[in-house]
């Protein structure tokens, strides 16, 4: 899982490599424009400029109950999000 933040104050979660189940779908996927290849599976709007993000230290993709992350942004408390 890939967690990102951007200038629009949105945290995005991507799951690269999980979209294509067989080689023909993978080939089709790579013919798409770059911005259509990977889509975010989660978007979280923060109120202000995002300072930092961090996964729960014990996070593992195979255990959904551990898929949580923290975010901190200007003039806001630390948030805990369930991914």
In the structure encoding, which two tokens stand for residue 82, read together? 């369930």
Which 8-state DSSP code applies to residue 22? Answer: S
Reading the chain (83 residues) residue by residue, the pLDDT tens digits are: 889 999 999 999 988 765 555 666 666 666 666 555 677 889 999 999 999 999 999 998 889 899 999 999 999 999 999 98
CA angle 37, 14, 45 (to 5 degrees): 115
Among 58, 51, 57, 61, CA closest to 83: 61
In the structure encoding, which two tokens stand for residue 20, read together? 């294509």
Full-model pTM: 0.70
């Amino acid at each position: 899982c890939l967690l990102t933040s951007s200038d629009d104050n949105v945290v995005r979660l991507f799951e690269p490599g999980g979209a294509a189940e067989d080689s023909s779908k993978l080939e089709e996927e790579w013919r798409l424009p770059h911005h259509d290849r990977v889509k975010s599976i989660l978007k979280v709007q923060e109120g202000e400029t995002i300072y930092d993000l961090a996964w729960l230290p014990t996070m593992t993709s195979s255990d959904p109950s551990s898929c949580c992350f923290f975010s901190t942004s200007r003039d806001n408390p630390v948030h805990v999000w369930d991914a």
